[in-house]
Structure 1
Amino acid sequence: MHVKLSIIDWIVIGTYLSGTTALGLYVSKRVRTSEGFFMGNRAFGKAIMIAQNLGTGTHSDQAVGVAGAAYTAGLSGIWYQWIWLFTTPFYWLLAPVFRRLRMVTIADFFEVRYGRSYSIAYAIFCIYLFALWQGIAIKGTAVTVSAITGIPELLIAITIGLTFTLYGVTGGLVAAAITDFVQGFLIVLLSFLVVPFGVIKVGGMTGLRHALPDHFFSIFSQSGGELTPFNVAMLVISGLAGIVVQPHMMAVGASGKTEMNCRIGWTYGNFVKRICTIGWTLTGLLAAALFPGVPFHDREKVFGLAVTMLLPAGLIGLMAASLMATVMSTCSAFMVDGSALFTENLYRPMLKKPRDDAHFLKVARISSICIALLGFVLGLTMSSVISATVEFISILPFIGIAFWIGIIWPRATRAGAWTSTLGSAAIFYATKWAGFSNSWSSLYSIVTGVILIISVSFFTPSEPEEKLSRIYKNLRLPIDEQDLLLAEEN
């Protein structure tokens, strides 16, 4: 069901799209090098770092997925995003690690730590992952905005794709981060805009409590549900194991001017998101009380239904603009980060003759367009936001174990890393095929991965000392004035 948009709604949407594009193109004038395109010259302050982390890590498909889960499972649906609540304090500890590595991509770390073949495999996997994430974000937004406005999903997806590609290709991470600063306000607005209207219509929180069964207000699902304590615990553990190898983490965690900027940006930007998740969950609960009967397979449409049924003219357009703001802020960053992996870790090492930086900047822009197109195609063919979310949370630990152990334990070897990654993946999919739940498969996979990397590393040759010293020496050296001067010169 949808409503006819008012003139005010169209003005709001048009103003947002044109304004965001103009802002992104304006700041793109500052981007003249590949370092500036990929990492913003590592010159971002605290406010931009907070906005970048909020914008990159928050997209409308997450609001749609959490609201849909809350519609059918109740308050426990919040865990599809609150699994990251327990990882948030670790960002304060991890930010200096990523900043001190002084690298452009996580694949750079893997090349030094475990060799080129492992780095190439990671880069290829993550380019696909970036496209997949873009597809999830585009799909979730197109479905919801279409439900709100009646505009065909394909047209919405094309509009979103063209907008973020235009300013992202020209301005790189600088354009993504600056537009995130503006779009961050719309993200917070998106999260809570429906709630007051729904609360009034349902008769306050007391009315909501009476309208829904008791189990809807339990923080965990009952036995046999999708979000039992054990299932949530495994999602949390898998998330912590895999968060370090989400391929955009080097950009969002290490593009600040100082270590403190990185810490504050990574931690507080994501903490704001944890608060926004409460709004998404309440929207799902209110929809369950006011609009019961939506089939399970259509539960991800209830966010759009709530917007359509509860918001007045003008605010509907603002919500549509906010939804598109979240996806464009995310996709522009993912597009840039994916092009960094291609340019720095796949293309540059293949060249036999040196090229100037302008050449690599051109390659970065072309590859970012290709990644955006792949994400667009995946978005059109995707079925469920929640299933895709659970899938990538489950598979990232295959590689995350090698990163964690590689930082903590110098004796870890490339043979151990390969064996751990392949072995944990094999155990995960084998146990899933045998009928085990996703949670039990994740547990067996992570335990297997840790055992394999430690045991195999004990019996295989150590990594070259000169390469290890580059990593561990950097980790012992805080970002100082010399680093900042070099950043300013670039």
Structure 2
Amino acid sequence: MFEVNASVITTFAAYLVIMFAIGLWAFRQTHGVSDYFLGGRNLGPLPAALSAGASDMSGWLLLGLPGYAYLAGFEAIWLAIGLMLGFWLNWLLMANRLRRYTIQCDDALTVPEYLSRRFDDKSGALQMIAAVVILVFFLFYTGSGLVAGGKLFATVFGLDYHLAVTIGAVCVVSYTLFGGFLAVTWTDVVQGLLMMAALLVVPVVILSEVNGDLVPSLNAINPHLTDVMRDVSGTPLSWIAIVSLVAWGLGYFGQPHILARFAATRSDDAINTARKISVTWNFLCQIGALLVGMTGLVYLAQHGLGPLDDSETVFIHMVNMLFHPWIAGVLLAAILAAVMSTADSQLLVSSSAFTEDLYRRWLRPDASQEELVWAGRIAVMAVCLMATVLAWNPDASVLELVGYAWAGFGAAFGPVLLLSLYWRGMNRAGALSGMLVGGATVVIWRQLSGGIFDLYEILPGVVFALIAIFIGSKLGAPATQKSLDDFDAIKNT
């Protein structure tokens, strides 16, 4: 338990004041729905890079991943490999082409709107179903962030978990509500830098405390901790286990909150520069997170303080034990930064799905810009409230909630979006089939267990979605001439 002191409280308060100040500034810069949801498509390389990274990783980076490394040792490296590869490929294959295509499709502001216009869907079915997918799975994803925030406030300040979750929700919704995309992006820049600094400093300090002998020390605790081919019990990892860990990388192609950063970047050159910055940030942060978990295990064992009741609090406990309260306050604010940087992005994308793809498309097609912005703000509050209900269980796992939402988006949107950018012959029926089959496979697969059903649900979801896209595109009505013309226009740029 932390000793609550003025240093930690002051640091947290200062951090929140800075975030709210950015939100107020962004509120004054937001004049229409395009500004609110995509910042006027004017992001430079640095904010695009850090916002994509910070909105991706969430509290999972400082709680879930270190907690997994604390329990599993080198086995966790498989997960990091998959995520690093997927992150890089997402920037390489999706970023430039998606930015151009959303502009070509009459300045589409959201993933559902892009899909509807890309496949010239006059019925609106693609846009509506995609919006529903976003709203459903982002409830789980946002809920995971609030669980992380709840664990942070409960552990650091000794608060009741439910009160802690409520405080976290209020913090996130406050500046997202008014500032929109600009607030989210520029707070992500601050938060991304803070997260990286924490994940570089903390493991280095712990390593110095254990004399740098990480591998021998892990072997002394359990020799299987340093074996990438066995779990901690000594059982060889099955192909299902290894493939499930690496398959996390497939999820990147379908994450709306990350893809929004690509669409909002000002130019191809800016994206190329941002890719280098963001991939470097991702690599350093994931290595740091793995080291926090493993070095934390060694430190606690050497001092007779383990095992932890909740492995996902290893970062919090190490900061508490090794750093001066003022520095600890800054480092712990990095967890709040991780939570806020992802939850705010998810709330904003959920808001855009409701406002652009449901409210304006089906209810108020003639709504003014001001009305749409306020509809988006109401949606932010509603989604945050429902996510808070999902986060209410104090035994909820950040990693498990993230895993479910990640798989849902990766399977429902990933194959559809990727092929929409590169396959000229893909049509509306293929997109609709892929989205429905991918999302449904994830939901059904997760309810089953044993044998092949222990495979992480994202992989069968992606495979079945690809099959459905191919069959739907071959059997459905051919792509319209407008769809073909748009594809050719992008291909020739």
Question: Where in structure 2 are the equivalents of 1:167-186 lying within 5 Å?
Answer: 167-186=175-194
What CA distance in whole angstroms lies between the structure 2 residues aligned with 1:459 and 1:12? 60
Distance change in 2, residues 1:46/1:202 (3 Å): same
Give the TM-score, by structure 2 length: 0.87
Q: 1: distance between equivalents of 2:53 and 2:375?
A: 28
The reply on whether 1:334 has 2:338 as its aligned counterpart is no
Identify the match of residue 380 of structure 2 among 368, 392, 410.
368
SS at match of 1:383: coil
Letter in 2 for 1:97: R
Distance in 1, matches of 2:364 and 2:333, equals: 47
* Matches for 1:40-119 after TM superposition, within 5 Å: 40-90=39-89, 91-101=91-101, 102=103, 103-114=108-119, 115=121, 116-119=124-127
SS of residue in 2 equivalent to 1:433 = coil
2:159 aligned counterpart, secondary structure: coil
- Kept after mapping to 1: 8 A contact 2:56/2:258: no
Give the aligned residue type for 2:291. Answer: L
Equivalent position to 1:433, from 440, 448, 457: 448
Q: In the alignment, does 2:485 pair up with 1:475?
A: no
Which of these residues, 397, 400, 405, is aligned with residue 414 of structure 2? Answer: 400
Q: Name which of 164, 174, 199 aligns with 1:191.
A: 199
| CA–CA separation in structure 1 for the residues paired with 2:362 and 2:167 | 35
Long gaps (5+) in structure 2 = none
Moved more, 99-108 or 345-354: 345-354
1:56-455 equivalence runs, <5 A: 56-90=55-89, 91-101=91-101, 102=103, 103-114=108-119, 115=121, 116-205=124-213, 208-209=217-218, 211-222=220-231, 230-237=240-247, 239-240=249-250, 242-292=251-301, 298-351=310-363, 354-381=366-393, 383-395=396-408, 396-424=410-438, 429=444, 433=448, 435=450, 436-439=452-455, 442-455=458-471
1:484 aligns with none
Say yes or no: does 1:13 pair with 2:27.
Answer: no
Find out whether 1:461 has 2:469 as its counterpart.
Answer: no
Please list the CA deviations of residues 222-280 of structure 1 after superposition, one character each: whole Å capped at 9, or x if unmatched.
4986965653434444532x422212133211211111212332453243122111111
How far is the alpha carbon of 1:345 from its aligned partner?
0.7
Unaligned runs of 5+ in 1: 479-490
Please tell me whether the aligned partners of residues 248 and 337 of structure 1 are also in contact (alpha carbons under 8 angstroms). yes
Greater shift, 34-43 or 47-56, is seen at: 47-56
* C-alpha distance in 2 between matches for 1:423 and 1:183: 36
Give the distance between the partners of 2:197 and 2:290, measured in 1 at CA. 14
Distance 1:425-1:226 versus aligned 2 partners, 3 A rule: farther
Q: Which amino acid aligns with 1:391?
A: Y
Check 1:390–1:227 CA distance in 2 against 1; reply closer, same or farther (3 A cut): farther
* Contact 1:113/1:463 (8 A) holds in 2: no
Structural RMSD (CA): 2.8
Q: Distance in 1 between matches of 2:98 and 2:235?
A: 38
Q: SS of 1:244's equivalent?
A: helix
| Structure 2 equivalent of residue 481 of structure 1 | none
For these two proteins, the number of residue pairs brought into alignment is 475
Distance 1:431 1:64, change over 3 A: closer
Contact 2:58 2:342 in 1 (8 A): yes
Per the TM alignment, residue 38 of structure 1 is displaced from its structure 2 partner at its CA by: 0.4
Paired-residue identity, %: 22
Asked if the contact 1:92–1:264 (Cα under 8 Å) also holds between the matched residues in 2, the reply is no
